[in-house]
Structure 1
């Protein structure tokens, strides 16, 4: 049941953060908004570690992984998605992100030497077909930069997948997501802050209820709670099965996009969404059994 709680929390929070990201775009430069988000989130996590008497510097053996996770998961990943949402509806960006399970399986094969089934490649083709269907209605309203936005979102998903593997590696070293997130978020925020200052960007936030509420939501529920819950799932059941929760992100995100961004549902939208979900389920071996095991906390039996 604890796995189910982590799953639901992650889906509900991350399925709505795409819209909050959209609300941050405009006045404040993208790197500055992300820096504020993770400065605030890392501060909250550091305070939690202090209250739990668990604050300490990362072990020397884990430091390269903490630095790499900070760059991939809390810097490049979000730079990509914030920029993508400048030209692509937030719900469609979430759909691209839902290819994370397949990327996790591929990266697990490349970097962790985990077995990858041929069905992963079939699932990738089906999932990509779904994305094509989702974007077919958008061709009539295609704007300059949307193609680049799609590619940038795909790059962000690759960075997210890399961060998953790094977290799995550190949890194998006995480090909790609460601890590694606190330091990795600080690394990402520091890089973004230094880069923004060198570029001469202003750090003054937009003093509007919309921007500030989005910042708080992204920092506390979106980062502190969402990333901790998700990466706990990664440690408990592995990055492949943990990424199943991304299958429901597009549903939540597209509903939010239709309510607040006037996104129009069509037959192509429904077909594309079904293909993306089907592609992910096909792409992971024993998908239904693995999902059931994740939700119930039971161990998979061979065969």
Structure 2
């Protein structure tokens, strides 16, 4: 599957999961909601491996790294993201999510000894400007208070944690570990960690009664986790964690399109400009603009 298709799958699915996550908030503890999501996802991946006869045996050092992905990307990142979304608006989260790209660039350079690619930095900066244009009206509704400050802090920790998970994933995948098995184990480890966390912190088990909770849970598990993360990991393996992370700047466009039909979002010339800037930034980040195609990376 080529990179364009993988990128499209991630953006289309994750552009809709922002809405799905809102139906998970307030029904039960965030830790349990995320645990149930990865329980379903891990069961699906494990069943797929068993039916297809895919090997489950992997070296111990790969298991340790997969546990790291489970903790940082699937456990800590999503638990904190659910918590942050209860305190701040989605527009602000979309803007802050752009920090993942910068975190990935720095961590790849420091940890994997990969060069800093100028096109990614320039593209990410344009994408950040585009997100600001798209959500300017929403930012006017934001007023700083203790809850917002807490939400912003939680969100930044979430995105930094996601970046650590991204870089560990790239290291695992480029060593030859198959995507499906890696996601199966990483999500399984995350599931166990989340249940242990819920038990240690004495989370009250509240069984939601709202049908929309379970509908959104199925969508998040099967599409948001199994399909989208499977596509994202293949993309990450093929183009690197820095370029793959540009997905986080494109899927807010999908979210706005969905919001237009379901929430009455009104487009302005500024939001249209923002979309154009994000797409131009994406073209630059992916090396599609001639002046960035053969430019040597920054090696520091």
Q: TM-score range by the shorter chain?
A: 0.7 to 0.9
Closer, same or farther in 2 for the Cα pair 1:91/1:19, shift >3 Å?
farther
- TM-superposed CA distance for 1:203, in Å, is 3.4
Q: Is the 8 A contact 1:109 1:115 kept in 2?
A: yes
- TM-superposed CA distance for 1:112, in Å, is 1.3
Q: Which residue of 1 aligns with 2:289?
A: 288
Closer, same or farther in 2 for the Cα pair 1:52/1:289, shift >3 Å?
farther
Moved more, 81-90 or 205-214: 81-90
Alignment: residue pair count: 294
Backbone CA RMSD of aligned residues: 3.0
Q: Which residue of 1 aligns with 2:175?
A: 173
Q: Is the 8 A contact 1:46 1:55 kept in 2?
A: no
1:104-135 CA distance string (max 9 Å, x none): 22221121122225676666665555555566
Query: Within 2, Cα distance between the matches of 1:252 and 1:285?
Result: 19
Q: Is the 8 A contact 1:258 1:264 kept in 2?
A: yes
Q: Is the 8 A contact 2:31 2:79 kept in 1?
A: yes
Closer, same or farther in 2 for the Cα pair 1:269/1:155, shift >3 Å?
farther
- Structure 1 unaligned residues grouped into runs of 5+: 292-299
Q: Which residue of 1 aligns with 2:11?
A: 11
Q: Is the 8 A contact 2:29 2:206 kept in 1?
A: no
Q: Is the 8 A contact 1:129 1:272 kept in 2?
A: yes
Closer, same or farther in 2 for the Cα pair 1:194/1:261, shift >3 Å?
farther
Q: Which residue of 1 aligns with 2:60?
A: 60
Q: Which residue of 1 aligns with 2:27?
A: 27
Query: Within 2, Cα distance between the matches of 1:81 and 1:278?
Result: 28
- Structure 2 unaligned residues grouped into runs of 5+: none
Closer, same or farther in 2 for the Cα pair 1:218/1:289, shift >3 Å?
farther
Q: Is the 8 A contact 1:133 1:272 kept in 2?
A: yes
Q: Which residue of 2 aligns with 1:188?
A: 190
1:129-162 CA distance string (max 9 Å, x none): 5555566534543354234323433332222222
Closer, same or farther in 2 for the Cα pair 1:194/1:287, shift >3 Å?
same
TM-score, normalised to structure 1's length?
0.83
Q: Which residue of 2 aligns with 1:296?
A: none
Q: Is the 8 A contact 2:124 2:246 kept in 1?
A: no
- TM-superposed CA distance for 1:96, in Å, is 2.8
Q: Is the 8 A contact 1:134 1:272 kept in 2?
A: yes
Q: Is the 8 A contact 2:17 2:220 kept in 1?
A: yes
Q: Is the 8 A contact 2:69 2:165 kept in 1?
A: yes
TM-score, normalised to structure 2's length?
0.84
Residue 116 (str. 1) matches residue 113 (str. 2): no
Q: Which residue of 2 aligns with 1:101?
A: 101
